[in-house]
Structures are given as structure tokens and as C-alpha cells.
Amino acid sequence: MAQPFRLSRGGRIDRTRPVRFTFNGRTVEGFHGDSVASALLANGIHLVGRSFKYHRPRGILSHGPDEPSALLSVDRGPGRIDPNNRASVVEARDGLKTLSQNHWPSLEHDIGAVNDLLSPVFVAGFYYKTFMWPRKFWDKVYEPFIRAAAGLGKAPAVADPDRYANRHAHCDVLVVGAGPAGLSAALAAARTGKRVILADEGPEPGGALLHDVTAEIDGRPAAEWLSATLAELDSRENVILLPRTTAFGYYNHNHVALAERVTDHLPSPGTAPRERLWQVRAGEVVLAGGSHERPLVFADNDRPGILLAESVRVFVNRYGVAPGRRIVFATSGASAYAAALDAKAAGLAVTLVDLRTESECGPELARLKAAGVEVLTGHTVIGAKGTKRVTGLIVAPVDRAGRCGAHRVLECDCVGMSGGWTPAVHLFSQSRGKLAYDERLDAFLPGTSAQAERSAGASKGTYDLAACLQEGFAAGAAAAGSDERKSFTASPTLTGFKPVRAMPTDADPTKVRAFVDFQNDVTAKDIKLAVREGFHSIEHVKRYTTTGMATDQGKTSNMNALGIVAGQLDKTLPGVGTTTFRPPYTPVTFGTLVGPARHALFDPIRTTPIHEWAEEHGALFENVALWRRAWYFPKSGEDLHAAVARECEAVRKGVGIFDASTLGKIEVVGPDAAEFMNRIYVNPWLKLEVGRCRYGLMLKEDGYILDDGVVARIAPDCFHVTTTTGGAPRVLAHMEDYLQTEWPDLKVFLTSTTEQWAVIALQGPKARAVIAPLVDGIDLSPEAFPHMAMRQGTICGVPTRLFRVSFTGELGFEINVPSDHARAVWEAIWEAGQQHGITPYGTETMHVLRAEKGYIIIGQETDGTVTPDDVGLAGMIAKAKKDFVGKRSLARPDVVATGRKQLVGLVTDDPKLVLDEGAQIVDDPAQPIPMRMLGHVTSSYWSPNCGRSIAMALVADGRALQGGPLHVTTPEGFARVTVVDPVFFDPKGERIHA
């Protein structure tokens, strides 16, 4: 019979809509509205997993996000398999495949269970005491063995086909949790007209109202109040209600992160994202996240069939499922009585065992007795019977001194245990609010706030329904700036419990295994061992025993662990300390956090106006900072080297065209522009004539080169600055910083014009001939327009700032045109150049050509530790300037000392050998290791125009070594080289002035 443990009536499931999924291959039937856990229980399936260390059979402990044991691998189709899903929060739907974890060969028969027999050895921290001999065995033998045993499920093996979304939102009031307190808060806030977001982790808002079937609010059933409240919230445009949405992180300045699960519950996800990250900046936050029930700590309290008492109530009332037919409730407090009453009302056989004496109990005792339930007060739980399913609970009377009387076995197929309640203060603690211990409630409660938030309801230790509603309403109103209050009447809630750390027992404590942290297999004994070994801070105990470190992060275990430590040390709970809660509240997929930020959206891609042209002409591209730059233009059959050789030759012999648009450009404008330039650059600027260019070098204040580039003076009060491709943002930031914060008196504006000017570099002896017919208003003759000059006119009718500059050593122009016209101008030049054999070239050829001339590239010859003198550019420094950024640092003792690395050229003995860039340089390759390294190769290429390899290097006192031999590392050993001047081609520099 399907669903033998489904109750004949009740629950919020839709019995008209059956769903089928599989568990370990077996078909499980449930109803729409079921969780995987409730559907498994409806079918009598309690054994759902094996524990981390001892491979003990484990069942379902809880109905909610605190579930430590029932962790399943869930398969939602190809590529959609992931591990460690809590059965209690996965919604049952057609077609799901669920699998238990951490066993071999099967869940029923698990070889790993032998660990359970070895448990006397595998105590807390045992691995710190052994596995040390022989030394090599750790990472070869022991560790692989331990690693294979550890970890629960299997990581996904293939890329995820799902997509994830991100959303930023602002609101006046964010309410976390849609239980009675949260709903009431949202209602109060919403009625003020403020923007409200109400987020709840469950599929259906309502919290405890979803399973409290007997409560009344203001004289009507709680369920009616719930639907009326939801209807009102739903009708208000200022309210966003987010079900299936967990507030998992509370960050600075009321930045709260929510994870919304959008499609996992749907049979077919369609085109919607699987999950969505909401980053909410809230004016005020109301935390109403409820509380978590504590398990009782007794021998074998981890047997399948032993649940939290309130969870039994949830399964019965909300899901219409009997977790067992004969249920024993074991408790030290009142709330389990409500569960017992509801189970009894559902027709189940119920017994209740209470550690408290009759006089310690409240009205709950009489009510349960009146319902005809046997209640054993003053009784402890000695242990549980059964292995793969609980078959009985061993109980005994216990006196004030903790002495146990005669054992009695209560036969059962389900236990509902309750050791009291722990408010969910996770988000409050994440917000850096200070927790305060409340002895009466045996709980840490929100104390002093650090941010604009307030707590309400059970998360603040308020458990009574009417009180929760009132407190929530007041919190919501206050968060919305209103002082409105509202009183509610509701059925009184059974509250109050006697804190118990571990149940009194007469068993040999060294033999008893009473679990505190179910998932990590940490027992009370382990915690006591840690204390004995000197781990007294709760943080030490956690780290030594791993309690509270599992996927539930101690939601069910922390208070019991803390209590046991405090008991051992005879301290109060706050004396041992509470651990700091860290995000996330419950685990969040990486996908949610990443959203769409992958591949092309990982970082913006910047392209130039010439990009498509380059693509059409077969360019391959390289990433340079955020830019895609044409790397080289291979013709069919050409590799990098062949293409670059051809491109290099074309530039030197004819003309090449190069897209230099990625160069950073900054317009420096204002009456004090020249003075500003003087302070920022090492060079002098005051006397630079309008229409002339200068190579500028810029330092950081520590004296090291920051950037370089050609600068043209457009007008007495205007400079056109260029920077390196990658350096543009930091140069502008550097300039702005000094301008705004050090020299606010200077009348200067800085404007980035990188995107406004496209730059077409035309280089080679025929460059002038190509553009001559296209240019108007500029005399291109060498006399009128010499090297390092800039003229304004038009090209193809488009206004241009035409620079006669060269990074190749050839006659060359850099044609700045407005970006919108760049492609048209480029194509016109391309057409005009056809008769001259114009050749497009990319960054690789640009690198080779400049290296042939010994021109440095920032970031290649320099690396953040290089001064102007190191790269032979000391001559750029204006001697007459008293100060510029970085000048003082150039006088520091170590910067003026000998032995600094200096830029030189290197030629290999074997002209065909191209050295590795980054290769290290020594004078004696026969010296013992560690060798004295003199420097390294910064640039190295095959130079088609030199007919040999060339290299640039930074070498200690290198300029003094000219002509001498050195040795450079190669993959195989060393290569002999000779130090030369780093100008390999046209050393007199005649071609550039052609």
C-alpha cells in the first residue's frame, strides 16, 4: 500500500495531486506540498543516511533547515546533481531522484560501519596523535585514506546547465521570517505605506502557524488569520513577499543577502533562473527567524525514528504523516506536550517522559493527562533500543541527586525529544549585535544592537503566540517609524523548559555514546575529553572535536555542547563563551553568489571601433587589461612566428597599420595645466611648444616608474596625455588624487578621453604617402611636420589630432580621430594603402619592433621596483625642477647605491636561440646552488629585421658589463650571451626622421 504512514486526514498537502520521486531507486509517492522528508516518512522510510565518521544509520531528525542527518544527493536531470541536500527542505516533486550518501555497498549494509566498532579509538582529535610514522606515509597513505572516508556526498562532476540571477533592492523595512511575529511586523510596517520586503525560507509563509492547528488568534482559527494577513500583504503594492527565500547574511550598514530558490520545486525549470541572490539595502530590519529545538543527549539518541518533538508535531499536523504509530515523547519542557496532544488527537499511541518532577511542570501536565496520555515525570532517558530504527526507549526514574532507578523499556517506533529551545540569533550576531545570556530562558538573546535592526518573536526568546504577534507588530511599526501598538488575543502557548545538558544516566560513561553533533559524530564523551586535554574555550572545543562545524553549523548542537563544557568546568554558559555566528545562515550555492558573472560577464570586455574589422581580417586576439587587442593577423597556414615575421618586415619596408585605440588618453586642461604636468611627470613641460610632443615618464611617490606615454601640447592650457593600455585608470586616479587632495589650488581639469579618440597607427617608410591624399589642412612635409610634432586638421573629412610619433623606429603617424568615425577612416586608409602594400599588424609585431629599437614597455621592462635610471631614462628627469612626484624617493640610500639592475641588451651566442622571458642571469653557471642571480630577461624575440634573436634584460650594474659574457637559464641549462646596448636596429635613429 502506498503511503502507509499517511494519516487519513489533515495536513496542508494537496491529496488530489500525487507526486512520485525515487529514493535509492525505489519509487516514493507523496503529495504536492510534501517535503522529501515527509514523503519518506509517509512511506515508513526512516533510515536515510550514514553518519560522517562512524557510519551509523541515521534518519530524519527535524522538519526544517536545522536538519543535520538526513542529507541526500538530489538528481534533477543531467548536470543537475548535487550532494548534501536536507530532506526536510527539499520539496517533493515528480521526477526527482534522491540518493543516500556515505556508504558502501549500500545504505542497509555499509562496510564503513566497522568504524562504529572502532569508535573507542576514533575519539575527538585522535588523528593528531597518530599517523606520524613513517614520515612519508602521511600524504601517501594515511591522508588519502582519511580523505576518501571524509566528505559526505559527491561533488557535481560536470558543468551546471542552470543559470543564476542577481538582484539589488532597497526597502524601508526588511522582515526576515514569516511566522506570527514576522507577519505581524510586516503588516504593521506595510500599513504605514513604507516599502516592505518579507522573506521566508519556507515554500509557504506562516511559520509555526502552518502546524499549530489548534491555536486561535483574535477568536478565529490561526489558519484564518494567516490567510487574511497574507491576503492583505499580497494586496499592497508596497510589499514584496518572497517565499523560499533565506536571509543568509547580515553585512555592514544593513546590507542583507537573501537566497531565493526559484525553480528547484518545479517539475520543469523552464527559462527561469534556478536561484536568485537578492542584495537588499534595508532602512530597518526586523529579525523574526524563530528558534530551533534542542535534542536530548542520551545514549544512542541518533537512532532513526528519533526526531525532535516539534518536528513530530509538524509531520503530523502540516503533512498529515505519522512518523510512527507508537510515539514516546521525551522532554524537559512544556512544548513537547503540545506535540503529544496533537499526536494523540491524530489517533497515535503516545507516552510522554519528562525529566522534570510533577511540581516543576505547568498546566501542560494536567492537559495531557486529561487527554488520556501516560506521563512519566521525574524520569530520565537511559538509552534507545534498535539500530536501523528505534524500537524502544529505556527510561528510569531519577532523583534530585541524579540517581537512576529501575529501567523500563517503552516500546515504540518513534521518539519525539525536546531539550528546550534556542532562539535563532544568527543574523543578529552576524550584524555584530552583542548577545546577552538569559538564565531564565537558558538562551543567548539579542542584546545590544549594532545596526538598525530589532528582533521579535521566538528569535528574541518570546514563545507565546499572542506575545509574538504583539511584539512583531510593535517591531514592524517602529521599524517603519510609527509608534502604533496592537494587542492580540490568542490561545496560550505551552512554554518553559528545564535546561539539561546530558540526560542523567547510570551507565558507564566511557561506554555511552550520546550524540551532541549528529552529523559530525561528536559525543558528550568527546567534548569531555577535549576539556580534559585543556581545550576550555568553546572555540577550542569546536575545533578540536568538530562539534558545530557540520553543514547545520551547530543549530541543534551548539547549546548542548556549550552546556557540557560549562558543566565540566563548573562555569556559567557565558563564562565559556558563545561562538560567533558567521554567514551563511544555511548553505548557499556558489551559483547564487556568482549569478551571471561568468565568461563574457566575468569582467567587461572592452573592444575598439576597429575590433570587428580585425575579426573580419582574421586577427587573433589577446587580453590586455580589460581590452581585447589584435595579437597578430595570420594568413592561411601561418603560425605566430611566420605572421609576425611578415608583419615586421612589412612595417620596416613598406607600411603597417595598427590599432592603438586602447592607449589611455587624458585631456589635461586649465591655466595651470603645465604646472600640473610639471609636478606629475619627471620631465619638464613649461617650455614645450604648442604642437610638439614629448615622451613623458611618471613615478609613484616611492620613486618607481608608474607609467609612460607621449604627451602633446594642444594649446598653452591644454595637453593631450597618453598612457599605457592597462595603466589608464590608475594614471587618471593618480592624477586626480594629487590634483584634488594636494594641489586643489591648481586650476586644472582632467578628463578621460580614451573612449573618445580612436588611434590608428600608421608606421613605415610609406606611411606619409598613404595618408597624404586623405589629409587636409596639415602640411605633412618632414620640415613642416617633424618627428614628435602634433597637428590638427582633417583626414577623410574627419577632424584629427595627427601625431607624428613612432613606437617602431620608422616614420610613423598616430592618427587620433573621434571613435565614431574610426572605422571609416581606417578603411579609407586601408584602401589608400593597398597600392603601397599596407599590412595590418598586431601587438606581437608591435612588441618586436619596439624591442628592436630598445623602447621599454611598462610592466615588461619595469615591474614596480624600477627607477628611471634603471631603464636608462635618467636623462628624462628635469634637473631644474625642485620637486615632482617621486623625486625625493630617488635620493634614498638604496636607490642611489651601486648594484641596481640596469637595462641592457643581450645577444645569444647562438643567434637562433630565443631566450625565455623571465629567464635568470648569472655570471658563472658552474657555481653551487643557491646561485647569485644578476637579473632577468624582460623581453625576448626573434627579430626578422636583425636576422637573429634579441633580448632585453635587467642586470645588476649591467651598463658596466657591456661586451662581457653572461649566462642565461634555458629549460635545459644555460645559454651564453653577450651584453650589448639595447638598441638592435638603426642605432642612429635615422629612419624615424624620414
Residues 117-136 that bind another protein (CB under 8 A): 120-121, 123, 126-133, 135
CB 456 within 8 A of CB 485: no
- Write down the least CB distance from residue 508 to another protein, Å: 8
Secondary structure element (H or E) that encloses residue 20, with its range? strand 14-23
Q: Are 290 and 208 in contact (CB under 8 A)?
A: yes
Query: Does 234 interact with another protein (rule: CB under 8 A)?
Result: no
Q: 3-state class of 599 per DSSP? A: helix
Binders of another protein among 173-202, rule CB under 8 A? none
Cα separation, 84 vs 575, in Å, equals: 34
Asked whether the beta carbons of 917 and 952 are under 8 A apart, the reply is no
Number of residues that bind another protein (CB under 8 A): 128
The single residue among 34, 66, 82, 869 that binds another protein, judged by CB under 8 A, is 82
Sign of CA dihedral 809, 813, 818, 821: negative
The 622-641 site mask, x for binding another protein (CB under 8 A), equals xxx-----------------
Complex with another protein: residue 153 or 323, whichever CB lies closer? 153
Identify residues 760-779 at the interface with another protein (CB under 8 A).
none
State the Cα–Cα distance between residues 531 and 362, nearest whole angstrom: 36
Instruction: Report how far residue 849's alpha carbon sits from residue 806's, in angstroms, rounded to the nearest whole number.
Output: 10
Q: Which residues are CB-neighbours of 413 under 8 A, at least 6 positions away?
A: 305, 324, 325, 326, 327, 389, 390, 391
Quick one: which segment of 77-85, 296-304, 401-409, 560-568 binds another protein (CB under 8 A)? 77-85
Pick the closer one to another protein by CB: 498 or 641.
641
Stretch that binds another protein, among 230-238, 327-335, 398-406, 537-545 (CB under 8 A): 537-545
Return the number of the residue (69 or 254) whose C-beta is nearest another protein. Answer: 254
How far apart, in whole angstroms, are the C-alpha atoms of residue 755 and residue 765? 29
The yes or no reply on residue 539 touching another protein (CB under 8 A) is: yes
- How far is C-alpha 491 from the chain's CA centre? 45
Q: Does 859 bind another protein (CB under 8 A)?
A: yes
Q: Cβ closer to another protein: 712 or 885? A: 885
User: Cα–chain-centroid distance for residue 520?
Assistant: 25
| Chosen residue from 34, 67, 162, 310 binding another protein by CB under 8 A | 162
Residue among 359, 395, 400, 405 at smallest CA distance from 374: 395
Is residue 609 near another protein by the rule CB under 8 A? Answer: no
Q: CB-wise, 360 or 506, nearer to another protein?
A: 506
The residue within the footprint of another protein, chosen from 363, 918, 965, 987 (CB under 8 A), is 918
Residue type, 331: T
Near another protein by CB under 8 A, which window of 157-165, 172-180, 405-413, 640-648?
157-165
**Closest to another protein by CB, 133 or 372:** 133
Q: Cβ of residue 973: shortest distance to another protein, in angstroms? A: 10
> Position 645: which residue type?
A
CA distance 49 to 794: 77
Give the relative orientation of helices 180-191 and 465-479 as an angle to the nearest 10 degrees. 30
Nearer to another protein, 422 or 553 (CB): 553
Region binding another protein by CB under 8 A among candidate stretches 637-645, 737-745, 768-776, 777-785: 737-745
Residue 879 binds another protein, judged by CB under 8 A: no
Closer to another protein by CB, 511 or 988: give it: 511
Stretch that binds another protein, among 477-485, 646-654, 740-748, 978-986 (CB under 8 A): 740-748
CB atoms within 10 A of CB 977: 26
Q: Does 704 bind another protein (CB under 8 A)?
A: yes
Is the separation of the CB atoms in 576 and 562 below 8 Å? yes
Q: Does 701 bind another protein (CB under 8 A)?
A: yes
Nearer to another protein, 472 or 548 (CB): 548
- Position among 5, 23, 54, 164 found at the interface with another protein (CB under 8 A): 164
- From the list 318-326, 402-410, 702-710, 775-783, the region that binds another protein by CB under 8 A is 702-710
Site for another protein in 506-535 (CB under 8 A): 509-511, 525, 529, 532-535
Contacts of 178 (CB under 8 A, 6+ apart): 186, 198, 199, 200, 202, 205, 206, 207, 241, 243, 288
Binding mask 957-976 for another protein (x = CB under 8 A): ------------x-------
| Site for another protein contains 223 (CB under 8 A) | no
Give yes or no for residue 482 binding another protein (CB under 8 A).
no
Which ranges in 808-858 belong to alpha helices (H)? 819-833, 843-852
Q: How far is CA 240 from CA 205, 230, 454, in A?
A: 13, 11, 20
Nearer to another protein, 478 or 953 (CB): 953
Minimum distance, C-beta of residue 698 to another protein, in the bound complex (Å): 16
Per-residue contact string for residues 272-291; x = within reach of another protein by CB under 8 A: -----x-x-x----------
Which of 18, 44, 499, 583 binds another protein (CB under 8 A)? It is 583
| Among residues 59, 83, 854, 905, the one that binds another protein under rule CB under 8 A | 83
Nearer to another protein, 94 or 863 (CB): 863
- E-assigned strand segments in 689-772: 693-699, 705-715, 718-723, 749-752, 757-763
Beta strands in 289-418 (DSSP E): 291-293, 306-308, 326-331, 349-354, 374-377, 379-385, 392-397, 408-411, 414-418
Matching residue, cell 542584495? 279
Cβ–Cβ < 8 Å for 795, 818: no
422-481 residues near another protein, rule: CB under 8 A: 432, 450
Query: Distance (Å, rounded) from C-alpha 503 to C-alpha 362?
Result: 21
Residue 391: other Cβ atoms inside 10 A: 16
Stretch binding another protein (CB under 8 A), from 219-227, 322-330, 657-665, 930-938: 930-938
Residues in the chain: 994
Tell me whether strands 326-331 and 349-354 are parallel, antiparallel or unpaired: parallel
Q: What is the closest distance, in whole angstroms, from the C-beta atom of residue 612 to another protein in the complex? A: 19
CA-closest candidate to residue 564, choices 539, 531, 594: 531
Could you say whether residue 156 binds another protein (CB under 8 A)? yes
| Helix, strand or coil, per DSSP, at residue 574 | helix
Question: Among residues 111 and 146, whose Cβ is nearest to another protein?
Answer: 146
Please give the DSSP secondary-structure letter assigned to residue 836: G
Smallest gap, in angstroms, from Cβ of residue 151 to another protein?
3
What's the rounded Cα separation, in Å, for the pair 184 and 286?
A: 11
Q: Which is nearer to another protein, 466 or 666 (CB)?
A: 666
587 belongs to the binding site for another protein (CB under 8 A): yes
Applying the rule CB under 8 A, the residues between 894 and 913 that interact with another protein are: 894-895
Q: Closest CB to another protein among 74 and 398?
A: 74
**Strands 245-251 and 255-261, how do they pair?**
antiparallel
Name which of residues 240 to 269 contact another protein (CB under 8 A): 249, 251-255, 257
What cell was used for 237? 503594492
Question: Minimum distance from CB of 936 to another protein (Å)?
Answer: 5
- 146 is a contact residue toward another protein (CB under 8 A): yes
Cα 643 to Cα 637: distance, rounded to the nearest angstrom: 9
When the beta carbons of 826 and 855 are compared against another protein, the nearer one is: 855
Q: Is residue 545 close enough to count as binding another protein by CB under 8 A? A: no
